[in-house]
Amino acid sequence: MALIANRRSVMTLFSAPTCPRCHSVRIVLAEKDITVDIHQVEAGDKSEDLSDLNPYNSVPTLVDRELVLYGTQVIHEYLDERFPHPPLMPVDPVSRATARLALYRVEMDWYRGLEGIDAAQDKQAAKARKILQESLVASSEIFAIKPYFLSDEFSLVDAAIAPVMWRLPCYGISLEKMPASIRDYARRMFARDAFRQSLTEAEKDMH
C-alpha cells in the first residue's frame, strides 16, 4: 500500500461525482484552498488503484504521499489538522465534542435518510422521504440560532450538511417549503465560493 501511495506526489482524492460524502470532502478542500488531484470514480466502476489502496474499495479515499485515509470524518479531521487555516473545528474540547456529535447526527439521520430513499421503492420511499423531511424541520430552531450550524464560523459540520441541502430537490423535498431558517441557511451555504468550486458537473445539474 505504501508503495502505491508513494507514486503520488500530489494529494489525491478518489471521489464519486454525485456522492454527498465525497462532496463534503471537496468542500473542505476548497475552503482550505488545498491543491489536490481529484480522481472521479463512477458508481460501480471502482479503479484498480482504489481497490489496492482501500480494502473497502469505497469513496471518499484520500492519498497524501504514503498516507491513505478513508472514512469521511477521518478525512475531514485530518485535513483540518494538516492544513490548520482556516480552522474548521472549535479549539476547546467541549465545543469539539459538540461538533463531533452534530456530525454523528448528520450522518445517522440525514445521510442515511438519503440512502434510505435511494434504497426504497414507492410507499417505502415516500415514508423515508417523510422521515427525512420531518427530521430536518425538527432542527429548524437550531439553524436559526447562529449563521452557521451551532457556530459563528463555517465548520466541518456545515461542510457535511451543505451536500444534503443541495440534494433535497432531487429527493422530492422542496427547499422552498422548508422553514425560513433552513432556506436561509442553505442559501448562505450555496453562495460560498468554496461550495461553488466543489461542485462536479453532475452536481451542478441537480439544480
Are 149 and 156 in contact by the 8 Å Cβ rule? The answer is: no
Distance CA 189, CA 197 (A): 12
Handedness of CA 132, 134, 136, 139 (dihedral sign): negative
Distance CA 92, CA 102 (A): 16
H helix intervals, 17-173? 20-31, 48-53, 72-82, 93-105, 112-119, 122-138, 140-145, 156-167
Distance CA 45, CA 47 (A): 6
Distance CA 14, CA 58 (A): 9
- Interhelix angle 112-119/122-138, rounded to 10 degrees, is 160
The residue among 71, 75, 63, 67 whose CA lies nearest residue 11 is: 63
Q: Of the residues 11, 13, 16, 19, which is catalytic?
A: 19
Does the annotation mark 170 as catalytic?
A: no
197 grid coordinates: 468550486
Catalytic residue ranges: 19
